[in-house]
Every structure is written in structure tokens, then in C-alpha cells.
Amino acid sequence: MIAVGWLHADMAIASLNSLGRPMAHGVCDTAAAVSDGGMTAFIAPVEDRADSVVNGFHASFLLDSGTVMTLYPGYLQELAQFLHVYSKTTNVRIAANRDFTAFAVIVEKIKSGTTPPGSDVTVPTSLGTWLAVVDAFGNTIREIELESPEGGVSAKQCHVSFADDGRLLAACGQYVGLRLYDSPTTDLTSFTSLDVGYKTGRAVITGDGTKVFFTRDGASQRAVCYMDTATGTVIDTGLTADGGINDAQVAVNRDGSVVAFRKTAGGLAVCSLEGGAWKETVIDGTQIRSPAVSADGRYVVYQTRGASCSQIMEYDRQKGTATPVSCSDGGAEADADCTSPSISADGSRIAFVSAASNLVAGGNGQPQLYMVRREAPSFTLELKRGWNLCGVPLTLDEQSVLLLKNEPACWGWRDGRFRPMESFQAGQGFWLYALEDKTLRLTGEEAEPTPLTRGWNLVIPSLYPETELKTCFGLENGSYVKLADPMNGNGAAWVFY
């Protein structure tokens, strides 16, 4: 028997303090960064000050294997008391390159003005906006003040984006000056200024570092464009968005072949580059915001208005379906706004912010960072001692291939003869010899089934519902029998095509 599924395995609060409890003041409504392994960076008011929310004492934190560390402090007591200066983290991103495990944060350094009642720190006025790169222990590797072409900038107008090789894009200013750092851990004074020729909105670099996507003002509309980082050439995709240049909120996959952005206030455009042209699909919704795309471009997560508050949805490009993420085990929508979704490169983890009380136990009523950990697509293979006629509905990953190759014998049908199996594609059937009764759990990727060839094929017939199968023979009680309904069941069979 074969059972297939991609499951939301569990949901938990990820914004924990050093005691393993949800952050006392909650977290900031800023998209957190999450890695494939679950390493998570987020921003929250510092816990040891009751006035941290009011006065904006925001720090960046890292959760890694259950340990919480401060990446960049939100309040330096010594500075605040003697120099009347404190710092505030506004956004943070994890570098995909694990060789140096660096994190980039935008920090607003504040100089105080007047002291509010009940506080020992005075009302802040901006002192400057800084880009800081820190290691996994919170030690500052590099730090430099940011300026846009118009001069000094507010931290709210800045953001950062990492490529897989560690190259760092920093967007500075309202209309945005773009800096590309080739090696952010060694020198922040050396960078390439990317001149896109127009005022631009938020910008993001692709994982492979070859393109920087953004929206810019055209003659009469907002155009989605990208710059080739090797040549400096700006290319107009022909895709357009309504609203201001920052409202499009462009997100891309690793190589820039899939782009998601807010087409309208109620429409999310998901576009793929096919044959040199962009194919656009618009997903309808209400108050759609904050798209994020997995590295392979298959999954897009986004925020949209539900029945009573904002929810998180996931769009599967392969299936063309949108499913809710921010729901309880019983399927109920979150009872408070869910915002700022992010997704890991491999799509195995989705993070979002919410103060919902019905998703998991243990919340404290403050907005927290939720993490949905997902299992890879999987199925179970039940084997009997001796020879088994089997099939795989997924393209198996390396670990699962090794499991099957460890069995005494595994033979498939290719080019008119039986041959040892080397790889396992979706839809393939094969004969496997087992020394004992056992159950194997195999994982892989959902994919189109392997194409049929003229003549006899050893496949799973039910994976070919649109194909006219002339003759199908399956195995029952050790003998081949003609199948009356090949679409009923998930077993392998001989199919004449």
C-alpha cells in the first residue's frame, strides 16, 4: 500500500527567550529569516525593560537548536545612561552561505531628547542608520552608516537581502540607493552602487546573485524590472503593478525565474519565465501583502484577509492550489491577524507573526513568531518476505534511493529488459526482494510521472488518469490478473501503451 502526503507536521512558537518561554513583549511585525534547518532570526522588544515597547528598544535574536542568542542589542544601558544613546534593530536577514554564518541587520542609533514619565531614557531623535553584520554569537563583524543619494536615511526605509554566496544587497533610502557588497564579512566600505536610473521601491537579490529585482516608476505605471549584476543592465520584464513603487513587494526564487508581487491590493501576481517570456498567474484575495518564494520557485506564501482577520496562505505552483497555513489542527483560522510570512529555501519551514490564541498552547497574548515545520513528501512501502511488485509516486531523494538499494535485489524494466534500478522516478514500478516483512518510509519530490513508451511499461497506472491505457496487468495472490479498473489503487502494474 502507498500513502502519499506533504504534511504540516507541527506548528510551534519560535520566538522564545533564554528560559524557553514566549517573548514577554512579543515580537515586532517584521518578516523573520528562517533557514532550511530551522535557524531563525527575529526582532523583539528587549525583555528586561518594561518600557521597551513604548520607547522602541528592539533587538535582533537568533534561535538555533533551542538556544536563543542576541544578535544585536536593542538597549545599551551604559550608553543610555551616560551618553543618552541607544540602538534599535529594524530588520534582520540570515546569510544563506553557512560557511561564515553571518547575519545582516539594519540598526537605528538614537540620541535622546526629553525624558518621558516613568523612564530613565529620554524621547529619541534619530542619530543615524547603520548596517551591521554579526556572527552567530552576536559579535559585530562589520558596521557602517548608511546614506541614500539624498543623504541620511531612516531605518524604516532600508532593508537587506543575501545571495547564497554571501553577497549582500543593502537598499538605502526612500527612493532607494542600492549597494552590493561582494564580501560583507570583510569590508563594508567597499561596495558597488547599482544605478537603476529611476526611483525604485524595495529591492531583492536572487539567491544565485545574478539579478536584483525591484519596481520603478515608469511614464505612467509601476514596472517590475531587474538588473543584471554582471553587466549593470536594467531589463524591464513587461510586468506591471498598481499602486506605489514600494507597494509591489517583489519576491523572487533562487535564479529569478519565478517572481511574485502585489499586482493590486487584492491580487497577487505569480510569474514564471518560460521560453523567454513571462507567464503571469493572478491569485485573487483581499488585502494581499508580503509574498515570499521558495528557492525552487514552487511555493509562494503570502498574507491575505480571511473571514475576520489576516491569514497566511501558501500557493503551490505545480498544483495551482492555495491552502491555508495559519490554522489550528482542527482547521480553524487563526483568531488574530497573521502577518509577515517567510519560507525557507527548501520550502520545509514557514514562519509568520501572530497574537492568535487558538493555534498552539502556551501563548501569552502578545504577537509571537510561529514556525510551521513541514515533512517532505513521503509514502510508506509495505514489503512482504520475498519478491514484491512495488511502485513509487515520487521522485525519490538520495537517502530513500540508498534504502532501496540496500535490499538484496531491485530490478526495473527499461528498454525492453530487466535492469538493476539506479534511480527512482515518479510513476516507476519495479521488483524488490526483501528478506523479511517490513515497512519503509520513503521521501522525495512530487513530480510528473515518468513518460510512457510504446509497448509494455512497469508503472503505477493511477498516476496516468488522462492517458488511454489499452491493457493493464497487476499482481494478485502471486499471479498476474487483468485489471478491470486501473485507476483504482496505487499499486504498480504492467501497462501496454
Instruction: Say yes or no to pLDDT of 22 above 90.
Output: yes
Q: 8-374 has which CATH code?
A: 2.120.10.30
The amino acid sitting at 115 is: T
Average pLDDT, the chain: 85
429 conformational bin, left if phi > 0, alpha if psi -120 to 50, beta if neither: beta
**Lookup: cell for 317:** 505552483
Q: What are phi and psi of 228, to 5 degrees?
A: -75, 115
* Rounded average pLDDT over 55-67: 84
Asked if 374 and 8 count as a contact pair (C-beta separation under 8 A), the reply is yes
- Strand segments, DSSP code E, in 167-276 are 168-172, 177-181, 192-194, 200-205, 211-217, 222-228, 234-241, 251-252, 258-264, 267-274
Instruction: Say yes or no to pLDDT of 30 above 60.
Output: yes
- Determine the pLDDT at residue 406: 92
- Determine the pLDDT at residue 84: 53
Confidence category of residue 5, pLDDT binned at 50, 70, 90: very low
Select the more confidently predicted residue: 283 or 83: 283
**Lookup: cell for 179:** 549597494
Asked if 283 and 297 count as a contact pair (C-beta separation under 8 A), the reply is no
- Determine the pLDDT at residue 290: 94
pLDDT tens digits along 239-285:
999 877 778 899 999 999 999 999 998 999 999 999 999 999 999 99
Asked if 184 and 99 count as a contact pair (C-beta separation under 8 A), the reply is no
- Determine the pLDDT at residue 97: 47
For residue 243, give every residue at least 6 positions away whose Cβ sits within 8 Å of its Cβ, in sequence order, or none. Answer: 222, 262, 264, 265
pLDDT tens digits along 136-151:
777 788 888 888 777 7
- Determine the pLDDT at residue 38: 85
Task: Give which of 45, 31, 44, 41 is closest to 62, Cα–Cα.
Answer: 41
Q: Which residue in this structure is represented by grid cell 560557511?
A: 99
CA distances from 216 to 195, 201, 224, 253, 295 (A): 12, 6, 7, 20, 24
pLDDT above 90 covers a percentage of the chain that reads 43
Instruction: Tell me which DSSP letter residue 184 carries.
Output: T
Residue 406 CA to residue 421 CA, distance in Å, equals 12
pLDDT tens digits along 284-319:
999 999 999 999 899 999 999 999 999 999 999 988
Instruction: Say yes or no to pLDDT of 124 above 60.
Output: no
For residue 321, give every residue at least 6 positions away whose Cβ sits within 8 Å of its Cβ, in sequence order, or none. Answer: 315
Asked if 209 and 200 count as a contact pair (C-beta separation under 8 A), the reply is no
Select the more confidently predicted residue: 99 or 440: 440
**Listed range (180-184, 284-288, 427-431, 445-449) with the worst mean pLDDT:** 445-449
Residue 361 CA to residue 17 CA, distance in Å, equals 16
**Listed range (109-118, 239-248, 272-281, 354-363) with the worst mean pLDDT:** 109-118
Can you list the alpha helix ranges (DSSP code H) found in 83-217?
A: none
**Lookup: cell for 117:** 514619565
Q: Where are the domains of the chain?
A: 8-374, 378-496
Most confidently predicted of 72-86, 111-125, 290-304: 290-304
Confidence category of residue 49, pLDDT binned at 50, 70, 90: confident
Confidence category of residue 61, pLDDT binned at 50, 70, 90: confident
- For residue 54, give the 3-state DSSP assignment: helix
* Element (DSSP H or E) covering residue 296: none
Instruction: Say yes or no to pLDDT of 1 above 50.
Output: no
Across the beta sheet with 386-391, the strand order is: 386-391, 429-434, 409-414, 417-420
The amino acid sitting at 323 is: T
Select the more confidently predicted residue: 447 or 442: 442
Confidence category of residue 497, pLDDT binned at 50, 70, 90: confident
